[in-house]
Amino acid sequence: MLTVINQFLSASELAHFRQTLDGANWQDGARSAGQLAAPLKTNLQLDDSSAAARSLATNLSAKLSQHPLFISAALPDKIYPPKFNCYQNDGHYGQHIDSAIMRCADGSSLRSDLSATLFLSQAQDYEGGELCVEIGGCLQEIKLDAGDMILYPANCLHEVKPVPKGQRLAAFFWVQSLIRSHQQRQQLFELDQSIQALTIKLGSDDEEVRRLSALYHNLLREWAYA
């Protein structure tokens, strides 16, 4: 399942992110890749220990913890601290699959159930740079506007196409979900979205809304791996 969250960042938030990144100190992105992925990775990445990276990661993590659509789609248990990258001058990342277990700087770890990319450059400001994700034998190309986010299963082969012109800035991170199964998570997401729509239409006191809400929480209780 691919989930697009449009305008995750407001115009003012996006301006703050871009201003901070414009003066940031970038380093070779291959330094953070695994042994197999490193030869495929040609991009720049923000030093995770830099003040800019820490500040933006904190801001983004706080927003993620309060965003209803993200929470509904991801059902997050743990979130890997967001990172930031830059593709330019034909930079790209060849087809690969993300590591199953992600190690954090503080020594903790998480299982990568979902991958996320938050686009920080306007789509018309650079050529190429599509995020290509293979799901169910179908290849899907994603290139969103600045401030938009895409969530996709971390067990999918994916790549970032070369950027021959312009600059593609993005934040990326991984999520360990309370629900390991992608199918079950998608079913819960669809059920939750229906409940929210019916609540607006019928009110939270409606008998069928209460019945569906109880079903949602009982399924979550049955399927969760917290």
Residue 76: helix, strand or coil by DSSP?
strand
Give pLDDT, residue 36.
63
Which tens digit of pLDDT belongs to each residue from 134-180? Answer: 998 899 999 999 999 999 999 999 999 999 999 999 999 999 999 99
Least confident of 30-34, 48-52, 117-121, 167-171: 30-34
Least confident of 46-50, 186-190, 216-220: 46-50
Share of the chain above pLDDT 90, in %: 88
Is residue 39 very low, low, confident or very high in pLDDT (cuts 50, 70, 90)?
confident
The answer to whether residues 140 and 132 touch, using CB atoms and an 8 Å cutoff, is: yes
Our measurement of the distance from residue 193's CA atom to the centroid of its chain's CA atoms, rounded to an integer in Å, reads: 19
The partner residues of 111 in beta bridges, in order of sequence, read 101
**CATH, range 182-223:** 4.10.860
Mean pLDDT of 63-86: 97
Q: Is 92 within any annotated ligand binding site?
A: no
Domain ranges (residues) in the chain: 3-177, 182-223
Task: Using DSSP bridges, classify how beta strands 149-153 and 3-5 pair: parallel, antiparallel or unpaired.
Answer: antiparallel
The answer to whether residues 144 and 8 touch, using CB atoms and an 8 Å cutoff, is: no
Distance CA(173)–CA(29), nearest Å, equals 14
Under CATH, domain 3-177 is a member of which superfamily?
q2cbj1_9rhob like domain (2.60.120.620)
Q: Describe the crossing of helices 207-223 and 182-202 by its angle, rounded to 10 degrees.
A: 160
Q: Which of 123, 132, 184, 133 is nearest to 155 (CA)?
A: 133
Give pLDDT, residue 155.
95
Mean pLDDT of 103-124: 95
Place of tokens 């770890």: 109
Q: Is 113 within any annotated ligand binding site?
A: no
Is residue 26 very low, low, confident or very high in pLDDT (cuts 50, 70, 90)?
very high
Q: What are phi and psi of 156, to 5 degrees?
A: -95, 140
Give pLDDT, residue 35.
62
Average pLDDT score over the chain: 94
pTM: 0.94
Residue 82: helix, strand or coil by DSSP?
coil
Q: Is 217 within any annotated ligand binding site?
A: no
Which tens digit of pLDDT belongs to each residue from 118-127? Answer: 999 999 999 9
Which tens digit of pLDDT belongs to each residue from 162-172? Answer: 999 999 999 99
Residues 6+ apart with CB under 8 A from 8: 63, 67, 70, 118, 147, 148, 149
Residue 3 pLDDT > 70? yes
The answer to whether residues 117 and 60 touch, using CB atoms and an 8 Å cutoff, is: no
Is residue 37 very low, low, confident or very high in pLDDT (cuts 50, 70, 90)?
low
Residue 225 pLDDT > 80? no
Residue 69 pLDDT > 90? yes
Residue 226 pLDDT > 60? no
Q: Is 67 within any annotated ligand binding site?
A: no
